Amino acid sequence: MRRWLRRRRDELRCKQVARVLQSHIDGELDPMTAEKVSAHLDACLRCGMAASSYRDLKARIARLSEPVNVDAVERLRAFVDELTAHEAD
């Protein structure tokens, strides 16, 4: 009855995607992992929205005319990682 709820062994879970989301957006994942992450982002509303937020933030930072404070970016990444870790639990 609940067969449609079961995950296939090769599907990623939200927590796994949260760990590699930034690398995925930056194009740093191997092709097989990137394909699995993309499939998860297409199927999972919450993770898809997180990816959209990351992409938007990255685009906004790229448009800044002043140099970005590297410490501020690292603090922001740590904060987002902490939030996604709590959401994925």
Q: What is the pLDDT of residue 61?
A: 85
- The model's pLDDT over 34-84, given as tens digits with 9 standing for 90+, comes to 999 999 999 999 999 999 999 999 898 888 877 778 899 899 889 888 888
The pLDDT value recorded for residue 8 is: 58
pTM of the model: 0.62
pLDDT of residue 81: 87
**Contact (CB, 8 A) for 39 and 65:** no
Residue 88 pLDDT: 55
Buried (b) or exposed (e) across 28-57, using 16+ Cβ within 10 A? ebeeeeeebbeebbeebeebeebbeebeee
Q: Where are the domains of the chain?
A: 3-88
Give, in degrees to the nearest 5, the angle at Cα 76 between 18 and 61: 100
